[in-house]
Structure 1
């Protein structure tokens, strides 16, 4: 008689290593997360570089850029422990997407709003990704990767929360600046 899915899961959660296929899936998701952090850093750097009239937002984004660089380094350490590397293709694609996103902001009148919305959305995608990575690492008994992803998750939640709390204020400031003659509201 074969074991039930619950029995298989119970065994899997108590062992220190998973199947080769399960480890490969975790490694692939770590590569995805690394590529997302590379994309985030480029996107946020371009956005912050154009912000002129929203100093609190600019400061918060610059702080998160530094966190993002640290997150990418920590993810690379996880990959190194598995004897793997980041995905050049995924990282390059992420940088291309960030470039396109960064350039698109230059052509809209409400860049500060669209950029803030994009950052908020991206943070939530990353939050979901780290929740998945934590569960996957835990299922393989990889406490080091789990701990690293939990730390990163906290940073992503903090940034998403900051944006959530400040989006109304940013929007109101944008709306006020829009009605002021000779004043740029865009960035």
Structure 2
């Protein structure tokens, strides 16, 4: 049986997180360009896209500090799956709701990934590298909280627009 050093596990997690954030961008950017009747969602999504771009920069800085690089293959593969997911929802009559559900689930996936990365950084005695990861975690927690707190209002607005024959889809 082979052993894996904590630093190596941490680097793998960093590369996975980098690819995950590329996937997040490939999911959010198409949504943003399609939103018509939900300016509050568009505003929050735009903000989180900018945060996600900063998260990628933080991850790249951590990788660079370890003399490591991202995984271009993982980045590309997850970006493609994100685009496919976004495209799949665009055909749905309740696109805005499906996107909100998917975004909420993805935010919670990211939260779990960052919690794990912070733990690995500390376990590998790389405490200083946990700091930027905690910043990413806080942004993901804030986005998940916003989605959670706004799901009922979004659903109600969707239902009201649908009831009155307005374009509720997006």
What TM-score results when the alignment is normalised by the length of structure 2? 0.96
- Runs of 4+ more than 2 Å apart: none
Gaps of 5+ in 1: 1-18
**Aligned equivalent of 2:126, options 124, 142, 149:** 142
Question: CA separation in 2, counterparts of 1:175 and 1:163?
Answer: 17
Alignment of 1:45 with 2:29, yes or no, is yes
Aligned residue for 1:103?
87
Aligned residue for 1:84?
68
**Aligned equivalent of 2:40, options 53, 56, 65:** 56
**Aligned equivalent of 1:130, options 99, 114, 118:** 114
Q: How far is the alpha carbon of 1:21 from its aligned partner? A: 2.2
Gaps of 5+ in 2: none
- The Cα offsets for residues 109-153 of structure 1, whole Å up to 9 and x where unpaired, read as 000000001000000000000110011000112122210111111
CA RMSD of aligned residues (A): 1.1
Determine if contact 2:14/2:63 at 8 Å carries over to the other structure.
yes
Rg larger in 1 or in 2?
Answer: 1
Aligned counterparts, 1:163-174, within 5 A: 163-174=147-158
Aligned residues: 168
Aligned residue for 1:10?
none
Q: How far is the alpha carbon of 1:30 from its aligned partner? A: 0.3
Aligned residue for 1:113?
97
